[in-house]
């Protein structure tokens, strides 16, 4: 029987006590929705039911999984950032794999035609330029255009305890920023999907027939350590918490540890004035094939044991920026920086030598407006 509700929330408010249970770990809530259905999965290596991958779990329960759609980094999560993912078959199950990264970011009508329902189950990290939420947007849009219901298995947001950063200006909309939300948006994927629907952010303001299976025993103040690293260069909690701040260095000549065993936990440049800590990026299969400053000793800061900045900050970026005599030696890809920031106002403020406090104050009005919108879509008790 077709799922007919525009939005159906299977809400279980057991937040006071108990183990956190992502949507996938509550099969009693979704298996009845899949009975007799032809199912498509939007999943990757984080899509686990306990110790078992969701694809294997559903097949073991007799669910007719027809097709898997894979995001950036691939179905098994081993591809480097930005690497093209190709179509194929899962070696273990023989299920067809369709890439949603590269030229085909949105499921095609013919790829959805023989499906009754699509499931999205991917661990996000709560940052606007982390592309799994862009994949979710395109999947929602394709499902809406082709009259296919979408079920989202929600998961905790490891950066879900605050909101920070500039709000995206739609003139800078791209695959690393599709919605007018801040860098750290404070939503789970389920909450964000409700916001995308409710705010009319899909093409032509269409809406997706959406079901969210919420996380049990979760609130936005709940610390959550990811059981599986969400992508090759976010290997631990520290990297995930520093990621919103350090990703801006991707548009510069400085290294943030790609090509080491501590990506997004160190910052360096081939000049000893940047710090006493030394590291040398190398090609690492499955993590960084051609890292920035490969084979060159970099000097800078080791953040692996630092708890000083576990929230978004521009302080590291400003520290490096002001040590360069020529901006062009540091900021090598200004357009990319603006896409990550979601605006060109940030680089203007940096060039005007504004402090962190002054820059953050300039975001306050838009952040307050966003927080008012966000409140309408929360599934869990909010942070204070």
DSSP string, 64-130: EEEEEEE-TTTTTT-SPTT-----EE-TTT--EEEE-SSS--S--HHHHTT-SEEEEE----SBTTS
Residue 88's pLDDT is: 81
pLDDT of residue 11: 40
Beta-bridge partner residues of 177: 174
Predicted pLDDT of residue 76: 60
What is the Cα–Cα distance from 91 to 97, expressed in whole angstroms?
10
Tell me whether strands 96-99 and 88-89 are parallel, antiparallel or unpaired.
antiparallel
**Exposed e or buried b for every residue in 253-281, given b needs 16+ CB within 10 A?**
bbbbbbbbebbbbbbbbeeeebbeeebbb
CA 213 to CA 292: how far, in whole Å? Answer: 40
pLDDT recorded at residue 140: 98
Residues 6 or more apart whose Cβ sits within 8 Å of residue 204: none
Place of tokens 């953040």: 303
* Per-residue pLDDT at 13: 40
**Which has the closest alpha carbon to 159: 342, 4, 311?**
311
Question: What is the pLDDT at residue 6?
Answer: 35
Map out the domains of the chain with their CATH numbers. Answer: 7-226 (3.40.50.12170), 237-343 (no CATH)
Q: Which residues contact 20 (CB under 8 A, 6 or more apart)?
A: 156, 215, 216, 217, 218, 222, 224
User: What's the start-to-end Cα distance of the chain, in Å?
Assistant: 41
Q: What is the pLDDT tens value at each position of the chain, 384 positions in all?
A: 333 333 334 443 444 458 999 999 999 999 999 999 999 999 999 999 999 999 999 999 999 999 999 987 667 655 454 444 567 888 788 899 999 987 889 999 999 999 999 999 999 999 999 999 999 999 999 999 999 999 999 999 999 999 999 999 999 999 999 999 999 999 999 999 999 999 999 999 999 999 999 999 999 999 999 999 999 999 999 999 999 999 999 999 999 999 999 999 999 999 999 999 999 999 998 889 899 999 999 999 999 987 656 899 999 999 999 999 999 999 999 999 999 999 999 999 999 999 999 999 999 999 999 999 999 999 999 997
Backbone angles phi, psi at 184, to 5 degrees: -105, 110
Phi, psi of 327 (to 5 degrees): -55, -35
Residue 77's pLDDT is what?
A: 52
Angle between helical axes of 189-198 and 132-145 (0-180°, round to 10): 50
| Interatomic CA distance for residues 93 and 235, integer angstroms | 27
* Burial class of residue 7 (count of CB atoms within 10 Å of its CB; 0-12, 13-18, 19+): middle
Q: Looking at the chain, how many residues does it have?
A: 384
State the pLDDT at residue 310: 82
pLDDT score for 173: 98
Q: 119: which strand partners? A: 41, 151
Report in angstroms the alpha-carbon separations of 27 from 24, 54, 132.
6, 10, 23
Contacts of 313 (CB under 8 A, 6+ apart): 245, 356
Q: Give CA–CA dist 97/101, Å, rounded.
A: 12
- Rounded to an integer, what distance in angstroms lies between the CA atom of residue 50 and that of residue 46? 11
């Amino acid at each position: 029987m077709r799922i007919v509700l525009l939005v159906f929330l299977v809400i279980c408010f057991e937040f006071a006590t108990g183990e956190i249970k992502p949507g996938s770990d509550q099969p009693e809530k979704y298996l009845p929705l899949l009975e007799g259905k032809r199912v498509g999965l939007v999943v990757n290596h984080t899509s686990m039911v306990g110790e078992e991958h969701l694809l294997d779990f559903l097949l073991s329960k007799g669910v007719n999984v027809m097709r898997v759609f894979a995001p950036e980094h691939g179905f098994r999560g081993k591809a480097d950032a930005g690497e093209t993912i190709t179509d194929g078959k899962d070696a273990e199950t023989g299920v067809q794999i369709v890439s949603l990264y590269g030229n085909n970011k949105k499921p095609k009508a013919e790829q959805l035609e023989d499906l009754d329902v699509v499931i999205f189950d991917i661990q996000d990290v709560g940052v606007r330029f982390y592309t799994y939420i862009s994949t979710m947007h395109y999947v929602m849009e394709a499902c809406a255009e082709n009259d296919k219901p979408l079920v989202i298995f929600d998961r905790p947001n490891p950066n879900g305890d605050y909101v920070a950063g500039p709000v995206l200006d739609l003139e800078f909309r791209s695959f690393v920023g599709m919605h007018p939300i801040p860098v750290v948006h404070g939503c789970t994927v389920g909450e964000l999907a409700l916001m995308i629907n409710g705010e009319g952010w899909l093409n032509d303001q269409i809406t997706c027939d959406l079901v969210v299976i919420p996380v049990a025993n979760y609130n936005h103040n709940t610390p959550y350590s990811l059981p599986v690293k969400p992508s090759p260069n976010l290997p631990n909690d520290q990297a995930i918490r520093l990621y919103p701040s350090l990703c801006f260095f991707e548009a510069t000549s400085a290294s943030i540890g790609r090509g080491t065993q501590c990506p997004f936990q160190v910052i360096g440049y081939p000049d000893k004035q940047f710090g006493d800590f030394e590291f040398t990026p190398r090609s690492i299969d499955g993590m960084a094939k051609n890292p920035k400053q490969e084979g060159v000793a970099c000097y800078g800061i080791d953040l692996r044991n630092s708890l000083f900045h576990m929230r978004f900050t521009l302080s590291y970026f400003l520290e490096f920026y002001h040590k360069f005599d020529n901006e062009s030696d540091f900021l090598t890809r200004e357009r990319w920086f603006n896409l990550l920031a979601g605006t060109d106002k940030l680089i203007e403020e940096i060039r005007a030598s504004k402090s962190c406090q002054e820059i953050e104050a300039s975001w306050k009005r838009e952040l307050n407006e966003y927080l008012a919108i966000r409140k309408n879509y929360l599934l869990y008790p909010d942070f204070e």
